[in-house]
Amino acid sequence: MINFATLLQILFQKMIIHSRNRRLRMHQSLRSLVQETTLTTNDFVMPLFVMEGQNKQEPIPSMPGVFRRSIDLTVKECQELYSLGIKAVNLYMKVPENLKDNTGKEAYNPDGLMQNTIKAIKNAIPQMILMPDVALDPYSIYGHDGIITNGQVDNDATNEALAKMSVSLAQSGADIVAPSDMMDGRVAVIRQALEENGFPNVGILSYAAKYASSFYGPFRSALDSAPKAHTEIPKDKKTYQMDFHNSREALNEVFKDIDEGADIIMIKPGLPYLDIVAKVRDAIDLPIAVYNVSGEYAMIKAAAQNGWLDNDKAIIESLTSIKRAGADIIFTYAAKEAAILLNS
């Protein structure tokens, strides 16, 4: 008499596995044929840090391979990026301390560092898409994204300053303004200001779901834009940036910004928030940008420098995962590296 174990063995020997997922994984050509997500240089926006001076370049220690550059060297970097297939840059200014105040007026100075940077890049590479950051923290003596009134970030006064800044950047040649401040209602105020000043075709990339995250540390050190230690003002940005515990709130923010006239929706940070990216992707048809932020970049670099992972493979895998989750556009400090890898 055949025991149960022997019977099972006979059955499994005769069983034909009709569905084998491994069939389509047997070699690279097959894997490429059925690949669902393709990463290209068209997906990338490269953030750039700009400072005053001529022929100056300073490394940012917490972000290996990333630099602050003077305008002339920023133009050269943009030319190289464009030759690699990167067609858009996101601009941030290292503002001298003597130009900072509590009004942010330097942000809309027609002869300011940001404005002159935009003009120089557009003059050299007219086809490059320029997406300057719109926020007051680099211009603030307090390091906040808005104007401080009675110890708090003044939402509506800040919106007026952001609108002035956006118009000034449009006048300088910006293609898309990128408000990252998280003030309520600022997209509507900016859209109205752009329309009234003759810039109906300048787009708005709204940081709709920007979380109060610990992953921004290296960026803030690059621009000295962290909130200053001051007893009379909020010690962090949690009164306007989103709570990382929340996800439904992200949809609320996204829908409001779309109603106000946003053309592209930003989710920031990236890798720890791919659930938010997927949720927003299911809910909207507008293009979604995701910011692979400084802390995410720095983690890969630190691990690679210690030999704990392969830098090139980790960059491509992490950026592909962001696109797979639903991103149309990826802001990343690894854009240049990734472009070189993809082009090789």
Identify whether 171 is part of a domain.
yes
Give the pLDDT score at 4: 73
Is 14 considered catalytic here? Answer: no
pTM, two decimal places: 0.92
Is 301 considered catalytic here? Answer: no
Identify whether 77 is part of a domain.
yes
Give the pLDDT score at 16: 73
Give the pLDDT score at 312: 98
Give the pLDDT score at 242: 95
Give the pLDDT score at 165: 98
Give the pLDDT score at 85: 98
Give the pLDDT score at 231: 63
Identify whether 13 is part of a domain.
no
Identify whether 269 is part of a domain.
yes
Those residues of the chain that have pLDDT short of 50 are none
Give the pLDDT score at 23: 86
Identify whether 63 is part of a domain.
yes
- Residue with token string 């890049």: 121
Identify whether 283 is part of a domain.
yes
**Of the listed 100, 237, 268, 301, which one is catalytic?**
268
Range of the domain at 291: 41-343
Identify whether 22 is part of a domain.
no
Identify whether 312 is part of a domain.
yes
Give the pLDDT score at 230: 66
Give the pLDDT score at 7: 66
**Of the listed 210, 237, 301, 336, which one is catalytic?**
210
CATH of the domain at 263: 3.20.20.70
Decide: 103 and 136 in contact? Cβ < 8 Å: no
Task: Give the helix, strand, coil percentages of the chain, each rounded to 5.
Answer: 45, 15, 35
Give the pLDDT score at 188: 98
Give the pLDDT score at 228: 65
Cα gap 327→86, rounded to integer Å:
16
Give the pLDDT score at 77: 98
| DSSP string of 190-205, one letter each residue | HHHHHHHTT-TT-EEE
**Averaged pLDDT score across all residues of the chain:** 93
Q: Please give the tally of structural domains in the chain.
A: 1
Give the pLDDT score at 18: 78
